[in-house]
């Protein structure tokens, strides 16, 4: 006992510092466990050097992307969180009980095995929101939920468009492979012509190497070497033959209009929230003496007659003008945002009008290039035919871009194809 009682304080302090230093220097055990697991997974993946080439049709690719794309899954989780936040608004006003246990032991009571004076309290605070405040909170939660839904649908369409581009590029690469195979047979042993055909084949292989990881990213699966296969059900968004209505009818651009409307409503809700903050805060406090207490060796219990209900109203003035300034700034931001949204709508409509006028011209030019390419191939002019093919492919890509700029806004078409069937 004496040795413990006279233990030097500086040694005890040093031992404490050494313990803390060692605990900070060594990484936590869960981190090491996760590192080991990640290393094992890395080793497992490194042994998979030649993943199998797996063809996939359009509808199957759409279904897999809808189910496994990580960005889309995160967006849907945001939608679920928004829906839960809407349901949570009325629950935020359910009173919560506060349970508190206090003990005040002394060295003497601890030596006797007792806690000494003990108090056990039970209390709650009941918030009483005014109707305007409750509506403002419910509206903000609803707006966040609806914005998450719109953002998810916009992302889904963007991913569909990317997937469509991959399939279209794959179709062109397959057509080029067939054409190049024929050209290699024609130019076999023809010196420079044969060398040019081999170079074009290598370019085609390089294009495949770029396309496959993009498809794996969209599908959310790198375990296989995915390859699009020709599919007769690949959408054909031919808006040159079927020009879209740009007058706001037939649900065209309805999703983008809804997104803009939500932003405007959110601005109004923000201003409403600033006004709600100026309302007095009303609350009710339910408190009581300790349910149980032991003090100076005497015990007592709660009597329900001792329950106390008290309320308070809190209101702060705005003599400094901070709330008024916040309202003015919010009004200016609202006006700027409205102007930006209007300019964005004008810009989008102008681009669509220009695209509609350009589509027919590009398609007629692409058709002329294809005819000239076929004529050159028959004449054995390999390099000239390849040059025209490259020009035609560039025009086809531009035509696809124009068509897709309409397709992503065509709500009626998206609603009709929202549940794709499997191949």
Residue 191, pLDDT above cutoff 70:
no
> What does the pLDDT read at residue 2?
44
Tokens read off for 287:
């408190």
H or E segment to which residue 292 belongs? strand 292-295
| Cα separation, 159 vs 152, whole angstroms | 10
Contact between 58 and 167 under an 8 Å Cβ cutoff? The reply is yes
pTM over 0.75: no
CA torsion angle 380 392 163 199 (round to 10): 40
Is residue 69 very low, low, confident or very high in pLDDT (cuts 50, 70, 90)? very high
> Where is mean pLDDT largest: 17-31, 101-115, 212-226, 264-278?
212-226
Is residue 182 very low, low, confident or very high in pLDDT (cuts 50, 70, 90)? low
pLDDT tens track for 332-369: 888 998 899 899 888 888 888 888 888 888 888 888 88
DSSP per position, 74-111: HHHHHHHHHHHHHHHHHHTTS--EEEEEEEE--HHHHH
Residue 13, pLDDT above cutoff 80:
no
Least-confidence region, from 51-60, 187-196, 216-225: 187-196
191: left (phi over 0), alpha (psi -120 to 50) or beta: left
Residue 165, pLDDT above cutoff 60:
yes
> Where is mean pLDDT largest: 88-102, 106-120, 297-311?
88-102
pLDDT tens track for 146-161: 999 999 999 999 999 9
> What does the pLDDT read at residue 298?
75
- Residue 88 or 252, more confident: 88
Average of pLDDT values for 371-387? Answer: 74
Is residue 420 very low, low, confident or very high in pLDDT (cuts 50, 70, 90)? very low
């Amino acid at each position: 006992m004496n040795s413990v009682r006279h233990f030097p304080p500086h040694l005890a302090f040093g031992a404490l510092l050494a313990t803390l230093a060692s605990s900070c220097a060594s990484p936590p055990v869960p981190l090491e466990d996760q590192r080991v697991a990640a290393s094992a997974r890395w080793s497992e993946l490194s042994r998979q050097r030649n993943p199998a080439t797996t063809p996939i049709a359009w509808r199957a690719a759409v279904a897999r992307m809808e189910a496994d794309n990580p960005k889309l899954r995160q967006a849907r989780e945001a939608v679920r969180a928004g829906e839960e936040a809407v349901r949570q608004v009325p629950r935020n006003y359910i009173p919560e009980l506060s349970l508190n246990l206090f003990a005040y032991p002394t060295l003497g009571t601890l030596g006797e095995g007792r806690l000494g004076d003990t108090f056990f309290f039970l209390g709650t605070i009941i918030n009483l929101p005014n109707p305007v405040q409750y509506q403002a909170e419910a509206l903000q939660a609803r707006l966040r939920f609806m914005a998450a839904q719109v953002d998810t649908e916009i992302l889904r369409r963007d991913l569909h468009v990317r997937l469509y581009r991959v399939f279209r590029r794959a179709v062109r690469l397959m057509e080029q492979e067939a054409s190049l195979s024929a050209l290699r047979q024609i130019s076999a042993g023809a010196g420079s012509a044969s060398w040019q055909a081999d170079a074009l084949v290598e370019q085609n292989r390089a294009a495949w190497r770029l396309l496959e990881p993009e498809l794996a990213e969209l599908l959310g699966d790198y375990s296989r070497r995915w390859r699009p296969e020709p599919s007769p059900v690949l959408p054909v968004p031919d808006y040159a033959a079927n020009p879209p209505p740009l007058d706001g009818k037939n649900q065209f651009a309805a999703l983008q209009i809804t997104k803009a409307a939500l932003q405007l409503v959110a601005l109004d809700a923000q201003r409403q929230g600033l006004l709600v903050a100026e309302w007095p805060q009303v609350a009710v406090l339910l408190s009581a003496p300790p349910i149980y207490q032991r003090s100076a060796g005497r015990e007592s219990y709660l009597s329900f007659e001792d329950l106390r209900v008290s309320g308070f109203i809190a209101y702060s003035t705005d003599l400094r003008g901070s709330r008024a300034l916040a309202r003015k700034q919010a009004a200016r931001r609202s006006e700027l945002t409205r102007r930006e949204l209007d300019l964005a709508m004008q810009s989008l409509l102008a681009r669509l009008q220009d695209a509609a006028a350009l589509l027919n011209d590009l398609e007629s030019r692409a058709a002329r290039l294809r005819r000239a390419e076929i004529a050159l191939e028959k004449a054995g002019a390999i390099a000239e035919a390849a040059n025209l093919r490259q020009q035609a492919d560039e025009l086809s890509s531009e035509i696809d871009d124009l068509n897709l700029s309409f397709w992503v806004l065509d709500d009626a078409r998206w609603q009709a194809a929202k549940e794709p069937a499997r191949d």
